[in-house]
Structure formats: C-alpha cells, structure tokens
Amino acid sequence: IVMGFERGELDKIKPFLSEEVFETFVDVVAAREDQGLKIESEFVGVRETSLQDVDFDKDTNRAEITMRFVGELTSVVRDKDGKVIEGSPTAVKRQKDTWVFARTMGSDDPNWLLVSTDA
C-alpha cells in the first residue's frame, strides 16, 4: 500500500482501501501532480509490527484491527525539473505508521480494508 501510494499507482491498491481512504489518496496524488512533484522511493523493509487494538461489533460483525508499523525506505521528492526538493535517493529513513484495517466477518470478501492511517 505504501509503495502504491508513493508511486501514485492507486488502481493497484484500491481493492485494499476503504472508499474514504482511496478518495483521500486520490486527492493527495492529484495535488502532487498539479504541483509537478514526483516521488521516488524504495522499500527497504519492515523493522517492527505490533498489534495495538482489536475491536469487534457483534451487531454488524465488523472487526477492526489497529496495527503499528515501523518500516525503512528511501524517499526523494523532485520538482518538475528533476531537482531534489526533499529527502534523499540514498538515505534510509524510518517511517512510523498506525493503520486501522476493517472487515465484516462472514462476508465473501476475504480482504481487510485500510480504513484509516496516522502516519
């Protein structure tokens, strides 16, 4: 999901996003494109994952899982002329995210959808 967002390849990750998160991602990617910005990033790896919370609503059969991820990646933002305006193409940085996934238990769709992020 992270790399699809960074690269603006939202169609590839849409099946894993709630409609609200998808629309937010569309807006952010469109704003980057309007400014002529391009993000180049490479995923290095996950350094930590932890389960933060679990909730289940018996009335709706909806389960939510809150996860915390610490990942490492390189990331650089370039302007329309290719000039680096943020980040580094070689420096590895740690990114900490808290994501909430949801799924209606018993549904035919096996995917857990990303319903919120706190990067």
CB half-sphere exposure, 74, CA atoms < 13 A: 8
Residues with Cβ within 8 Å of 53's Cβ and at least 6 positions away in sequence, in order, are 64, 65, 66
H-helix segments, the chain:
2-7, 10-13, 19-34
pLDDT tens digits, one per residue of 87-108: 999 999 999 999 999 999 999 9
pLDDT tens digits, one per residue of 50-60: 999 999 999 99
* Predicted pLDDT at 27: 98
Asked if 74 and 44 touch (Cβ cutoff 8 Å), the reply is: yes
Three-state secondary structure call for residue 28 = helix
User: What domains can you pick out in the chain, each with its CATH number?
Assistant: 2-118 (3.10.450.240)
pTM above 0.85, yes or no: yes
